[in-house]
Amino acid sequence: MDDKEVLRPGEILVYELDARAEDPTAFAIKIGMFPSDLIDLLNGKLPVSERIAQSLERELNMPAAFWLELQAEYDNRLNNK
């Protein structure tokens, strides 16, 4: 096993929202999430589901598969520690 760091999807989403100057509360509402759930996602307490990935794809124009693969890599990394 290598020492390559795998970022949680929420960390990537934080960077994306910052780069786009998106307010997390407004973004959550835009994608049909409760703001508290988005905060949990950003903090790694809520995983990216298929529904969330589809919403992120629609709003950010980033493939749902990207988000789902990030989540799978992160989960795999956690399970192999």
* pTM, entire model: 0.89
For the chain, which residues make up each domain, given as ranges? 9-79
For 3-41, how does the pLDDT look when each residue is reduced to its tens digit (9 = 90+)?
567 789 999 999 999 999 999 999 999 999 999 999 999
Q: Are 31 and 59 in contact (CB under 8 A)?
A: yes
Both tokens of 68, joined, read 């789902």
| CATH code of the region 9-79 | 1.10.260.40
Q: Locate tokens 């809520």: which residue?
A: 46
Predicted pLDDT at 4: 67
Helix (H, G, I), strand (E, B) or coil at 16: helix
What is the residue type of 34?
A: F
The Cα 12–Cα 53 span in angstroms is 13
